[in-house]
Structure 1
């Protein structure tokens, strides 16, 4: 399913990974459009995240990884750390203050990957940036 992801005024094409993470994709798609704010990660490397606190998407692990590639979006469904969405823009070893985490790879950006480092720079040096996921 095609998506559009807008971050800090930049638009990216994306797709839901419905074959690899069907439950996560279904739970997320039911919440579209999904608006939030990204901030730079603290422990994981080159990524931004949307802290979601106690939000419950009602999914467990599927298609999970601790090492997403640039442009891959993960949903950490909660457990030892809070629920979150993470977007890799460079090298990532997904972790929290509790240690290594794994999140469900459920969205892949398909355009504009060369602009992702700018997203990281903005979040690191200018603070929280708006993000919106919507049907493409």
Structure 2
């Protein structure tokens, strides 16, 4: 039950939930599946794509949080000094906003299709917002 399929633009990735490290974040996100949204390129953080969630309060705090997600790691910032968001790292990321450095909960790791992450990032950067869908595999 920890396996996911992520379809972003024309790319498909296999992934897993980080249930042991971020159980509350995983449980909350799992309750939203299938999750369909659009991703856009980050403004402050480097090589990443994000889903801005505004003032959405998911009732989460920090767990397994990082400011430096590795390529293929997906983090959720639960809100606070900046808006709630989900970020997918495709390259070097130093997670931040106009308020400064942030930390997000690493709750999903892409396991299959990593060779297509940079292409996804460049597509989002140069062609704009792309649809993204998270579903159980």
TM-score tier after normalising by the smaller chain length: over 0.9
* Counterpart secondary structure, 2:24: helix
How many angstroms apart in 2 are the aligned matches of 1:63 and 1:108? Answer: 12
1:100-123 deviation line (CA, Å, top 9, x unaligned): 000000000001111000111111
Matched, 1:11 2:12: yes
RMSD over aligned Cα atoms: 0.5
Instruction: Return 5+ residue gaps in structure 2 as ranges.
Output: none
Deviation of 1:58 after TM superposition, in Å, equals: 1.1
* Counterpart secondary structure, 1:125: helix
Give the match for residue 62 of structure 1: 63
Normalising by structure 1, we get a TM-score of: 0.99
Matched, 1:39 2:40: yes
Matched, 1:110 2:111: yes
* Counterpart secondary structure, 2:112: coil
Instruction: Return 5+ residue gaps in structure 1 as ranges.
Output: none
Deviation of 1:74 after TM superposition, in Å, equals: 0.2
Aligned partners of 1:28 and 1:57 also within 8 Å = no
Deviation of 1:9 after TM superposition, in Å, equals: 2.1
Normalising by structure 2, we get a TM-score of: 0.98
Aligned partners of 1:63 and 1:104 also within 8 Å = yes
Give the match for residue 124 of structure 1: 125
Matched, 1:51 2:14: no
Give the match for residue 100 of structure 1: 101
How many angstroms apart in 2 are the aligned matches of 1:122 and 1:10? Answer: 10
